[in-house]
Amino acid sequence: MKTLRILDSSGDRVFTFDESAAGLRAQREAKALFTRMLSHGATAFKVNRGDGKPDEKVTDFSALENETIVVPRVVGG
């Protein structure tokens, strides 16, 4: 089961999906959302990867691991 967390005003929105046939629809929706967010300037990071692996930026949906945080577009404050 993979988790996509999108930061927003409520804290974060969570989407879970897996690669089984049953979870195909959820996966398609998550992929569409992921692609749309990134095309609007968001950045995604693989986090809590286990085995001491550091967080990592990710741009490819197929490379997502257990948990991914999507940060909305950043701007100068």
Partner 1 sequence: MQALEPLVRLWRRVWRPRSLRGDGWPIALAGAGEEAAANAAVPATDWAAARSRASEARARKLLCRTLSASQLQELQTHGCFAVEAPGRGRFYILPQTSFNVFHPQTGNLYCCTTEIFVPLSDLMVAQKLVLENDPDRFFAVANCRPKLFAGP
Binder to partner 1 among 10, 21, 39, 60 (CB under 8 A)? Answer: 10
Using rule CB under 8 A, residue 47 touches partner 1: yes
Of 16-24, 27-35, 41-49: span binding partner 1 (CB under 8 A): 41-49
Binder to partner 1 among 26, 33, 38, 69 (CB under 8 A)? Answer: 69
Count of C-beta atoms within a 10 Å radius of residue 32: 11
Residues in contact with partner 1, total (CB under 8 A)? 24
Binder to partner 1 among 5, 27, 61, 64 (CB under 8 A)? Answer: 5
β-bridge mates for residue 15, sequence order: 4
Which two three-digit tokens encode residue 7?
């930061």
Please say whether the beta carbons of 35 and 64 come within 8 A. Answer: no
